[in-house]
Amino acid sequence: MEQYIIRGGNPLVGEVEIGGAKNAALGILAAAIMTDDTVLIENLPDVRDINVLLEAMESIGVKVDRISRHAALLNSEHVGEVSVEYEYIKKIRASYYLIGALLGKYKKAEVPLPGGCNIGSRPIDLHLKGFKALGAKVSIRNGFIIAQADHLHGSHIFLDTVSVGATINIMMAASMADGYTIIENCAREPHVVDVANFLNSMGANIKGAGTDVIRIRGVQKLHKTEYSIIPDQIEAGTFMFAAAATKGDVMVKNVIPKHLEATTAKLLEIGCEVEEFDSAVRVVASKRLHSTNVKTLPYPGYPTDMQPQIGVTLALAQGTSIVTESIFENRFKYMDELARMGAVVRVEGNTAIITGVEKLSAARVCAPDLRAGAALVIAALAAEGVSTVDDIIYIQRGYECFEEKLRGLGAEIERINSEKEAQKFLLRIV
Ligand code: UD1
């Protein structure tokens, strides 16, 4: 089992390049099957979730040509299957985007029902409600969602909860429905806009993405395109908090600063300096940070995917902070691990009360999920001594070359697979 071994205590200093947005890429890759033409997708992150989705797509007949580490040509002319195997959805929930894409193009999809996950129960009732409103019959049989329609028609859909997944999934299916669809109370996340832009570049007619009302005029056919995915705002935000927690000075490059506003606002509030450039942000933490309160909300609010990163940073800030998680019910599991590093934290329901300590101490901790795993790496980088982080397979789902990028900023971190490799690291750092 791979682990990270980390000697903390050094401020992170330097420059880091951010890759393409994983969550945008998941939607865009699925949407690429909606044309028979070849599609070029660039700025694709080389992370596990993306590679598993590409395998799932190959399994239904999509021809995937990874022309470079960050670019792929996809051709879906010979998609012979509309049924995706459980093996893939088990590894990556977002393969549910294949329902919207297959239903839109082939008017039929069979995809295993995704289960809950480490951050809580993840219903997809709103996705299904949207497909039904577009005229699909949706049933659940033997663990599969089966969605089919003779033809899809436009509809007026109101989403009860703001959902990124439902917005993207319904938008894809509606792009190839007959007539006009209005989706209200949509998610406004940058990756919703990116998927809409991608579909529009293939000939779809989607307006309003990025606002809470999306209007779609269905088209019969989509065509080839070349498209570059937006930078990953969560990867960027993770490095911004890594700079803050280690009292560092990091230039985070290849970002869209506008997408990082909620993160930037919180960093300023706790006492960091944040400088914005056209496609970079620089975070400097020259003194001890101070407490704040934060509540996760749909975009443009503070992202739930950045909650653990601010949580570990506040564990070192002066004063008491309150972190409220309003999107997923089980996103504080990392707090127990953080407490093992000396943090003073108390979780009550969807609220964590954190009283900052001067220093965290090294410990062996376990990544409970993707973002919390990255946050524990930040905690270990800030802590005195040598920590190990177990279960880093979660982190690899969404961060490309995480340890290499951190090493580029002066971190002492190594990915290890055995006690012998741990010993080698320890010998090297003494
Ligand atoms: C996406 C992101 C995930 C991020 C989340 C919230 C991807 C692949 N994943 O997940 O990283 O943490 O947005 O920003 O982009 N809900 C329902 N019924 C539904 C769908 C959702 O009740 O049918 C609820 C969820 O339980 C949750 C809230 O809506 O409380 C938001 O979830 P949603 O935005 O759908 O999250 P995902 O799209 O799964």
Q: Same structural domain for residues 297 and 355?
A: yes
Give the Cα separation of 100 and 70 in Å (integer).
Answer: 25
Q: Same structural domain for residues 288 and 305?
A: yes
Nearest residue (CA) to ligand 1, atom 35: 163
Q: What is the best residue among 327, 395, 397 to mutate for testing ligand 1's pocket, by most ligand atoms within 8 Å of CB?
A: 327
Residue 427, both tokens:
């010998």
Look up the CATH number of the domain holding residue 210.
3.65.10.10
Q: What is the best residue among 47, 164, 397 to mutate for testing ligand 1's pocket, by most ligand atoms within 8 Å of CB?
A: 164
- Residues 166 and 192: beta-carbon distance below 8 Å: no
Q: Same structural domain for residues 192 and 259?
A: no
Q: Same structural domain for residues 218 and 137?
A: yes
- Residues 355 and 344: beta-carbon distance below 8 Å: yes
Helices marked H in 315-418:
334-340, 370-382, 393-396, 402-407
Q: Same structural domain for residues 274 and 346?
A: yes
Q: Check if 94 has its Cβ closer than 6 Å to any atom of ligand 1.
A: yes
Q: Same structural domain for residues 309 and 209?
A: no
Give the Cα separation of 200 and 206 in Å (integer).
Answer: 6
How many domains, in total, are found in the chain? 2
How far CA 225 is from CA of 2, 37, 70, 388, in Å, comes to 39, 8, 16, 44
Q: Check if 304 has its Cβ closer than 6 Å to any atom of ligand 1.
A: yes
Question: What values do phi and psi take at 10, rounded to 5?
Answer: -95, 135
Last residue of a domain, one of 211, 228, 245: 228
Q: Check if 211 has its Cβ closer than 6 Å to any atom of ligand 1.
A: no
Q: Same structural domain for residues 45 and 183?
A: yes
Last residue of a domain, one of 228, 244, 275: 228
Q: Same structural domain for residues 166 and 219?
A: yes
Nearest residue (CA) to ligand 1, atom 1: 164
Helix (H, G, I), strand (E, B) or coil at 163: coil
d(CA 193, ligand 1 centre) in Å: 16
- Residues 32 and 40: beta-carbon distance below 8 Å: no
One pLDDT digit (tens) per residue for the chain, 430 residues: 899 999 999 999 999 999 999 999 999 999 999 999 999 999 999 999 999 999 999 999 999 999 999 999 999 999 987 888 888 888 888 889 999 999 999 999 999 888 667 877 788 999 999 999 999 999 998 888 999 999 999 999 999 999 999 999 999 999 999 999 999 999 999 999 999 999 999 999 999 999 999 999 999 999 999 999 999 999 999 999 999 999 999 999 999 999 999 999 999 999 999 999 999 999 999 999 999 999 999 999 999 999 999 999 999 999 999 999 999 988 999 999 999 999 999 999 999 999 999 999 999 999 999 999 999 999 999 999 999 999 999 999 999 999 999 999 999 999 999 999 999 999 998 7
Q: Same structural domain for residues 285 and 175?
A: no
The DSSP 8-state label assigned to residue 45 in this structure reads -
Nearest residue (CA) to ligand 1, atom 33: 163
Q: Same structural domain for residues 213 and 331?
A: no
Give the Cα separation of 405 and 232 in Å (integer).
Answer: 14
Output the pTM of the full model: 0.97
Nearest residue (CA) to ligand 1, atom 12: 305
Q: Check if 123 has its Cβ closer than 6 Å to any atom of ligand 1.
A: yes
* Residues taking part in catalysis: 117
Q: Which domain holds residue 155?
A: 22-228
Q: Same structural domain for residues 371 and 389?
A: yes
Last residue of a domain, one of 195, 228, 261: 228
d(CA 304, ligand 1 centre) in Å: 10
d(CA 422, ligand 1 centre) in Å: 38
Q: Check if 164 has its Cβ closer than 6 Å to any atom of ligand 1.
A: yes
Q: Same structural domain for residues 332 and 206?
A: no
**Nearest-atom index, ligand 1, CA of 161:** 29
The DSSP 8-state label assigned to residue 178 in this structure reads B
330's CB contacts (< 8 A; 6+ apart) are 118, 119, 120
